[in-house]
């Protein structure tokens, strides 16, 4: 809804923006950056590894994620289960865990973890 709001504002103001969708996304990320930072700061180290893996398209409990974050796969599995049961940042979509807010994924990708 936030993206649609910004896109509507850009279009209705008659502003000449080459990539209106991209500009709307940038505005939305500017508005939600503090929220994403607060989410990140509130996550345990293993939870951060899981959400980072999901943002990067990696298996959150896979060997590559464990290696990148120097975290045992069992610890990652427990973190994933904790995040799923909390239902705040991760949910199962199409039989796979995924971040609920795609803007969080973009924010994570841009900050370089």
What's the whole-number mean pLDDT along residues 63-82? 98
As a whole-number percent, the residues of the chain with pLDDT over 90 amount to 60
Q: pTM to 2 decimals?
A: 0.79
What pLDDT is attached to residue 92? 97
For the chain, domains (ranges, CATH) are: 44-111 (1.10.10.10)
Task: Report the 3 state secondary structure along 40-56.
Answer: HHHCCHHHHHHHHHHHH
What pLDDT is attached to residue 100? 95
CA distance 112 to 110: 5
């Amino acid at each position: 809804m936030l993206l649609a709001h910004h896109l509507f504002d850009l279009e209705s103001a008659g502003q000449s923006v080459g990539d209106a969708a991209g500009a709307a996304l940038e505005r939305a990320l500017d508005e939600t950056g503090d929220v994403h930072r607060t989410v990140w700061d509130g996550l345990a180290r293993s939870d951060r590894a899981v959400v980072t893996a999901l943002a990067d398209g990696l298996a959150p409990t896979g060997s590559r994620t464990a290696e990148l974050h120097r975290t045992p796969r069992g610890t990652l599995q427990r973190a994933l289960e904790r995040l799923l049961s909390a239902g705040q940042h991760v949910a199962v979509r199409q039989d796979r865990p995924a971040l609920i807010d795609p803007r969080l994924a973009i924010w994570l990708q841009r900050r370089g973890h």
